[in-house]
């Protein structure tokens, strides 16, 4: 008697045959990564032994039949990247008592996320991103085994206490990845962010209406690789304690209202590859010890109020392989000849500052350069002849 049906990663077309519902001993259905279409048959609700239902990356449409939620044995439910719509029933917390993985991202689901999600105490992977959900982010503090929770790219928020879920999130001691990016969340960034799991590697909160200051206790998140709080309304200074995060690779806080000087401690984090502080109100000089970021590949400081000269230690950082954007500041002085050390950089934007003097001939050494912006400065002299033919 057939128990497992694994047909994923092929080129199958057409709908799911209703006759599959006659395979009463099925525990595992994998049809992922095909070109299947049509509705998910309600008759599959008769498969009372089914544990794994995986049909992600197809072209299924319609709603999830309510009969599916009668299968109490489901542990993995994955319908990511289809064209499914409708809402998630409020009784999901009791319908799937064994649920460990719930992946429904990249569809057209709508409505409010049920508060009974908090009853799914075995849940470890939750992805509802890229849909049209509204209302609050559910309280997740009872999900002690939660590892991933992705609520990004929805329409969540707009209420009185949109960030209230943070207070209980500290109970999710195994949490590694959390995203509420690209929603409508409004509220003050809570101090409880410093109490999140020390296993947290990715925290994405960009594209909301979050205000307040970044709590310096964020240094407690010692496993953090990626921190993204861009395109919000954050104020205050960027805490230097970010530099105490030993595993931080990327920090994106562009498009806020952050002010004050850039702490020289930022680059104490030895793994940093990407710093994006563009579009804030940062003042003072660029710290010379940015040159200590030996792995830095992307630096964005454009659209601030930075003054002083470009540190030679920074401009000669050979790790900068992709982009450096210092445009729309108040930088002065010459362009250091050390710029020739950026041999692999692709994009360099120093436009709309007050830089002066001659363009150094060493710029010809930047053989990987595809985009160069020096407009809106006070440069003079001749264009380096070898650079003209580069």
Q: What are phi and psi of 261, to 5 degrees?
A: -85, 155
The 3-state DSSP class for residue 114 equals coil
pTM: 0.94
- pLDDT given at position 388: 47
Question: Which residue ranges make up each domain of the chain?
Answer: 213-390
Give the mean pLDDT of 210-220: 94
* More confident of the two residues 181 and 270: 181
Count of beta carbons in the 10 Å neighbourhood of residue 22: 11
- pLDDT grade, residue 374 (50/70/90)? very high
- Average pLDDT score, the chain: 95
- pLDDT given at position 386: 62
CA 176/CA 162 separation, integer angstroms: 21
Per DSSP, 267 falls in state G
- pLDDT given at position 326: 98
- pLDDT given at position 387: 60
Q: Kindly tell me if the per-residue pLDDT of 187 is higher than 60.
A: yes
Residues 313-336 have pLDDT tens digits of: 888 788 777 899 999 999 999 999
Residues 272-320 have pLDDT tens digits of: 999 999 999 999 999 998 888 889 999 999 999 999 999 998 887 887 7
Give the mean pLDDT of 66-71: 96
Q: Is 244:221 a contact under the CB 8 Å cutoff?
A: no
- Look up residue 291 and give its two tokens: 């040159």
Query: CATH number of the domain at 213-390, out of 3.40.50.2000, 3.80.10.10, 3.40.50.9100, 3.40.190.10?
Result: 3.80.10.10
* Bridge partners for 282 per DSSP: 260
Q: Provide the percentage of residues in the chain whose pLDDT is more than 70.
A: 99
Q: Is 156:185 a contact under the CB 8 Å cutoff?
A: yes
Q: Provide the percentage of residues in the chain whose pLDDT is more than 90.
A: 87
Alpha-carbon dihedral sign for residues 120, 124, 130, 134: positive
Q: Which of 345, 207, 330, 329 is nearest to 279 (CA)?
A: 329
User: To 5 degrees, how large is the angle CA 89–CA 122–CA 29?
Assistant: 70
Give the mean pLDDT of 185-209: 96
Give the mean pLDDT of 177-199: 96
Per DSSP, 94 falls in state H
CA 341/CA 301 separation, integer angstroms: 20
CA 100/CA 46 separation, integer angstroms: 21
- Look up residue 36 and give its two tokens: 């299947």
Residues 3-29 have pLDDT tens digits of: 999 999 999 999 999 999 999 999 999
Q: Kindly tell me if the per-residue pLDDT of 66 is higher than 60.
A: yes
* Bridge partners for 53 per DSSP: 29, 77
* More confident of the two residues 50 and 294: 50
- pLDDT given at position 389: 41
CA 96/CA 74 separation, integer angstroms: 6
Residue with tokens 């999900």: 143
- pLDDT given at position 158: 85
CA 357/CA 146 separation, integer angstroms: 57
CA 254/CA 228 separation, integer angstroms: 9
């Amino acid at each position: 008697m057939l128990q497992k049906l694994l047909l994923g990663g092929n080129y199958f077309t057409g709908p799911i045959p209703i006759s599959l519902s006659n395979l009463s001993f099925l525990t595992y259905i994998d049809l992922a990564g095909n070109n299947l279409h049509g509705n998910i048959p309600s008759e599959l609700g008769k498969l009372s032994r089914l544990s794994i239902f995986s049909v992600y990356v197809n072209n299924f449409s319609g709603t999830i039949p309510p009969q599916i939620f009668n299968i109490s044995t489901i542990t993995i439910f994955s319908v990511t990247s289809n064209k499914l719509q409708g809402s998630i029933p409020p009784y999901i917390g009791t319908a799937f008592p064994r649920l460990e993985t719930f992946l429904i991202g990249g569809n057209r689901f709508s409505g409010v996320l049920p508060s009974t999600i908090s009853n799914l105490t075995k849940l470890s992977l939750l992805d509802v991103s890229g849909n049209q959900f509204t209302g609050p982010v559910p309280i997740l503090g009872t999900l002690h085994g939660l590892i991933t929770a992705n609520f990004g790219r929805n329409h969540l928020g707009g209420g009185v206490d949109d960030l209230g879920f943070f207070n209980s999130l500290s109970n999710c001691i195994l949490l590694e990845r959390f995203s509420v990016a690209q929603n409508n969340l409004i509220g003050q960034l809570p101090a409880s962010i410093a109490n999140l799991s020390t296993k947290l590697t990715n925290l994405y909160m960009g594209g909301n209406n979050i205000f307040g200051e970044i709590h310096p206790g964020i240094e407690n998140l010692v496993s953090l690789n990626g921190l993204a709080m861009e395109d919000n309304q954050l104020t205050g200074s960027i805490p230097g304690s970010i530099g105490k995060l030993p595993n931080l690779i990327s920090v994106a806080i562009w498009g806020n209202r952050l002010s004050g000087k850039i702490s020289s401690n930022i680059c104490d984090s030895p793994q940093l590859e990407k710093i994006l502080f563009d579009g804030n109100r940062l003042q003072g000089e660029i710290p010379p010890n940015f040159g200590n970021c030996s792995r830095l590949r992307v630096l964005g400081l454009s659209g601030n109020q930075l003054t002083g000269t470009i540190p030679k230690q920074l401009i000669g950082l050979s790790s900068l392989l992709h982009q450096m954007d210092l445009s729309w500041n108040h930088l002065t002085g010459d362009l250091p000849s050390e710029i020739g050390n950026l041999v692999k950089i692709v994009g360099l934007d120093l436009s709309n500052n007050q830089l002066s003097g001659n363009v150094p001939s060493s710029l010809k050494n930047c053989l990987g350069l595809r985009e160069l912006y020096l407009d809106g400065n006070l440069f003079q002299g001749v264009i380096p002849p070898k650079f003209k033919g580069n």
